[in-house]
Amino acid sequence: ARDRQLERFSGEKKTYANAQMMPKMIRKHCAISAEGDKLLENAITRLGLSARAHDRILKVARTIADLDGAASIEPRYLSEAILYRTLDRSYWA
């Protein structure tokens, strides 16, 4: 996963990991399918998440995809990232 990220951000000055992506980079590197978009929007609505949470979920999903060696973010990676977000909210709430 780290090698994928280093390659992805090789032309960027201060970015070397998915967690450091700015919104413009998220749009470029975290494209999702229509099915994934529907899943994410549904989760945001049901859980009352912010736009910032949306971006964080995409970053985590990108990392999960990298760990699995996948080039694209599949709905299953989004589901896992959403699950982590809900666990985080229930733990800190």
The model's pLDDT over 40-61, given as tens digits with 9 standing for 90+, comes to 999 999 999 999 999 999 999 9
Q: How many domains does the chain have?
A: 1
The whole-number pLDDT of residue 67 equals 97
- pTM exceeds 0.85, yes or no: yes
What's the average pLDDT block by block, 10 residues per block, for the chain (93 residues)?
94 93 96 96 95 97 97 97 85 59
Nearest partner of 21 among 72, 55, 71, judged by Cα: 55
Nearest partner of 63 among 80, 41, 83, 87, judged by Cα: 80
Burial of 64 (0-12, 13-18, 19+ CB in 10 A): buried
Q: Dihedral of the CA atoms 79, 85, 91, 93 (nearest 10)?
A: -130
Domain holding 81, by residue range, is: 2-92
* CATH number reported for the structural domain that contains residue 30 in this entry: 1.10.8
